[in-house]
Chains A and B, each alone.
Chain A
Amino acid sequence: MTETREAAPVVAPGHDYASATAAISDVVLRRKPPRAWFVTFGLGFLGVLVLFYTMGVLVLKGVGIWGVNIPVGWGFDIINFVWWIGIGHAGTLISAILLLLRQEWRTSINRFAEAMTLFAVACAAMFPIFHLGRPWVFYWMLPYPSSTGMWPQFRSPLIWDVFAVSTYFTVSLLFWYVGLVPDLATMRDRVKNKLAKVLYGIGALGWRGAASHWERYETAYLLLAGLSTPLVVSVHSVVSLDFAVAQLPGWHSTMFPPYFVAGAIYSGFAMVLTLLIPLRKLYGMGDFITMRHMDNMAKVMLATGLIVAYGYGLEAFTAWYSPSDFEQTLQRTRMHGPYAPFYWSLILCNVLVPQLLWFRRFRSRLAVLWVISLVVNVGMWLERFVIVVTSLHRDFLPSSWGMYTPTIFDISFLLGTIGLFLACLFLFIRVLPMISIFEVRTLVSPNKERGKGT
């Protein structure tokens, strides 16, 4: 499966406007979905059913069906929340920051990454809402003129989370949709089914490709990119404050925001690779998602992985250097306590294995890259497990120590959201172009100026 990386282009040679448009839109409009589509979507849908069942039991019986209890009041729910939100960070990074930095290779993967972001954030948002215990009154967290005469507690980072995540979701959705408009027009013009034509037509908002349309589009897209850029760092910073604001050893650290943001981008890119490598093969998109993309994403993963590794090192160093007994004890507990296997697996997954990415021969082997991306996904989940559980399970008083064991419902909720994520993603691939058609057209344009982005 080795493909040479030497001078790998962003788009394989030999494409023109028509062939690029056809290759991408035909996936939706002309070609029958491959068998793997049905299998994966079926699995995803099964997961959705599991999710519904879990939610039903949860609403009927309450959070007691989970393994959380005092002292470990945050379990899988918060771990999964942070994990999903982190995965949702690749989308905006690729679309906004790489756009502003004029990295034109982003063009082939931004649509997909943004869609992935939306679904990941949707999965993430479910966890804190169901963690509330009474999810049907989740709107109490919003500031509105309520009959209780109370505002939410604005000094709590949990409320900042509400704003951070909902803003992130809204802006990501807008960004994704605005980027879709010209492509929806292409789909409208190419689709044969009458109903689909009308639906794509409504979505395309009357796009005719006029110069005035393009001018407004470019302005809107740049503005949205500017808006989302701070969100790339703000969302996970705020999520990290959920921990850092608390006074617990292992959480109360100024390092958390940058450390979390790096981890988020790390896991986001890992997830993009995990999904794109098989999809690229399945749909024969190798012409547009080339080895150049794989190589670049692997490098981003390596860089952010090193920042995360630095974070682990600094955590241990801070504990050692500090005069705080509690900090030191916690670090020792992480390394040698009952959850030590999780800690060392995390180091293996997030620090040791990704070092393979230094070498081109591993980066250019898709199978290796895919396995590494999976390992990083697992590693980032373990990181959140270690952060959430180890700090909580040893309270300041030994009399309040306790262990956390997830129940079957903890696990089914996680599997259920993975199912929802897959189902949404495969529906997206089925009905919308997974690669931005019009942006790829700019790349194959015969009179394209070099170095100029979209």
Chain B
Amino acid sequence: MAQLFHPSTNPFSKVSIAGLLALVLTGLVLLFVYWRSPYLTGQSVVRAQPVPFGHKHHVEELGIDCRFCHSSVEDSAYAGIPPTETCMTCHSQIWADSPMLEPVRASYRTDQPLAWTRVHDLPDFVYFDHSVHVRKGIGCATCHGRVDQTNLTMKGASLQMIWCLDCHRGPEASLRPREEVFNMAYGGASEELRRQLREQHEVQSMTNCSTCHR
């Protein structure tokens, strides 16, 4: 009987065994990487905004406190996006004719709020409360990154569940005194201080499903 496969096809059979395995493994690794990539999480990706607002200029260069605009961050779940009036406190006087700020003035004139593109958007099945984090001594920069040093706003973290849990499983690593919460450049508390803060603010490791998925 004639040979079905020529001997030159032998390497194919061997390569295909290793190749299939490699293909599956590569596929899994790619999926793993893709799932964590900024392409999917939006971390460090600048989104288009109606006005190119720069945190670096307002916070670092001008020294405005976070709470001047995000006024409800200490008392409510939502940190708050400032109404156009807050912008106009200054911009009715400064850069009052800048074409870049025309949408702000238009919003003020027409009483239509600016439609900012939300950057930190948690899924609807996640409950998150800013106030409790602030009160227990988690700094803004811990989650949002060095907002004072970025020009256009971007996500400071992936906001994936593993990122939440990383902190929730050992929260004392991120604690700082309450008065340092809004200090963007805070260097980190000593171990001794963190233990004290944990005691003082009764910080617990909250990892029950229903802590966030209510």
Contact = CB atoms under 8 A, between A and B. Distances in A.
A193 interface: no
Contact of A150 (B1, B5, B161): B161
A147 B162 CA distance: 5
B13 interface: yes
A324 to B, nearest CB: 32
Given A189-B1, A198-B4, A147 B160 contact: yes
Contacts of A205: 13
A149 B160 CA distance: 9
Contacts of B160: 147-149
A212 interface: no
B165 interface: yes
Nearest to B209: A150
B144 to A, nearest CB: 20
A197 interface: yes
Contacts of B165: 148-150
Contacts of B163: 149
Interface string B43-70: 0000000000000000000000000000
A447 interface: no
Contacts of A150: 161, 165
A149 B5 contact: no
B207 to A, nearest CB: 10
A147 B157 CA distance: 13
Contact of A206 (B13, B36, B162): B13
A188 interface: yes
Given A205-B13, A206-B13, A147 B36 contact: yes
A207 to B, nearest CB: 11
B32 interface: yes
Which one of A149, A189, A201, A205 has the highest number of Cβ atoms from chain B below 10 Å of its Cβ? Answer: A149
Contacts of A149: 160-166
B128 interface: no
Contacts of A197: 4
A96 B183 CA distance: 69
A146 interface: yes
Interface residues of A, number: 13
A145 interface: yes
B116 interface: no
B35 A147 contact: yes
Interface in A167-203: 188-189, 197-198, 201
Interface string A125-167: 0000000000000000000011111100000000000000000
Nearest to B162: A149
Nearest to B10: A206
B161 A147 contact: yes
Interface in B150-202: 158, 160-166
A205 B165 CA distance: 48
Interface string B1-23: 10011000000010000000000
A145 B5 contact: no
Contacts of B166: 149
A190 to B, nearest CB: 10
A189 B1 CA distance: 8
A180 to B, nearest CB: 17
A146 B165 CA distance: 12
Contacts of B35: 147
A147 B32 CA distance: 9
A147 B165 CA distance: 10
A205 B4 CA distance: 12
Interface string A319-332: 00000000000000
A201 B4 contact: yes
B151 to A, nearest CB: 28
Given A146-B162, A148-B161, A149-B165, A188 B4 contact: yes
A147 B43 CA distance: 14
Among B4, B5, B35, B36, max chain A CB count under 10 A is at: B4
Contacts of B164: 149
B169 to A, nearest CB: 8
A249 B166 CA distance: 41
A146 B163 CA distance: 11
A425 B102 CA distance: 71
Most buried by B among A150, A201, A205: A150
Contacts of B158: 147
A53 B21 CA distance: 34
Nearest to A149: B162
Nearest to B41: A147
A145 B161 CA distance: 12
A189 B3 CA distance: 10
B39 to A, nearest CB: 14
Contacts of B4: 188, 197-198, 201
A201 B1 CA distance: 13
B202 to A, nearest CB: 24
B171 to A, nearest CB: 15
Contacts of B5: 201, 206
A148 B162 contact: yes
Contacts of B161: 147-150
Contacts of A146: 162
Nearest to A146: B162
Nearest to A205: B13
A148, A188, A189, most chain B CB atoms within 10 A: A148
A145 B32 contact: yes
A76 B1 CA distance: 54
Given A148-B160, A149-B163, A149-B165, 20 more contacts: A145-B32, A147-B35, A147-B158, A147-B160, A147-B162, A148-B162, A148-B165, A149-B160, A149-B162, A149-B164, A149-B166, A150-B161, A150-B165, A188-B4, A189-B1, A197-B4, A198-B4, A201-B4, A205-B13, A206-B13
Interface of A: 145-150, 188-189, 197-198, 201, 205-206
11 contacts: A146-B162, A147-B162, A148-B160, A148-B162, A149-B160, A149-B162, A150-B161, A188-B4, A189-B1, A205-B13, A206-B13
4 shortest interchain CB distances as A-B pairs: A149-B162, A148-B161, A149-B165, A147-B160
